[in-house]
Amino acid sequence: MQYEDEQDYIMRMIKESVRVLASLILGKKYVQVTLPPENKYQVSGSKEPEWKELTDNGHINEAENSLLEKIDYQNQADVEEALLFYEYVSRKGNDFLKQCNYSEEEVLEGLKNLARRSGYAGILEMIE
């Protein structure tokens, strides 16, 4: 498999993982919508999340650590916010991720960890 094909595969896996997890964990069909940039990643009307600004400034690892330090894996809003984080990061593109010492593989691994910790351990293995 060539490098570009491998990256496309990882992106497809990320998108499918987000779709499946959102459907199962949140109990609703996930349909990506285009919302105005100022509120696309808000959860339950909250202000723009801290992780978004950190990510935009190239501090993805810090954003992830901050988010995961306070997540309650049994709380639907927290899990939804983590899903949004990984989706947002995946949309930044491979070049941006490399500059930030992050990768699409880490996004996929983060989604797998989120599924495991939320009680959906076998779900992502089924779509691989």
pLDDT band at 6 (very low <50, low <70, confident <90, very high): low
Residue 91 lies inside a defined structural domain of this protein: yes
Residue 92 lies inside a defined structural domain of this protein: yes
| 16 pLDDT higher than 90 | no
Ramachandran sector of residue 32 (left: φ over 0; alpha: ψ -120 to 50; beta: rest):
beta
| 126 pLDDT higher than 90 | no
User: 29-75 pLDDT, tens per residue?
Assistant: 655 544 445 545 454 444 568 999 999 999 999 999 999 999 999 99
Residue 37 lies inside a defined structural domain of this protein: no
Residue 48 lies inside a defined structural domain of this protein: no
Q: Scanning the structure block, which residue is given the tokens 């779900």?
A: 123
| 8 pLDDT higher than 80 | no
Residue 45 lies inside a defined structural domain of this protein: no
Whether the predicted model's global pTM rises above the 0.85 cut? no
| Domain that residue 8 falls in | 3-24+57-127
Measure the CA–CA gap between 107 and 85, rounded to whole angstroms: 9
- Total domains in the fold of the chain: 1
Residue 31 lies inside a defined structural domain of this protein: no
Residue 46 lies inside a defined structural domain of this protein: no
User: 75-124 pLDDT, tens per residue?
Assistant: 988 988 998 999 899 999 889 999 999 999 999 899 889 988 988 777 65
N- to C-terminal Cα separation, the chain: 16
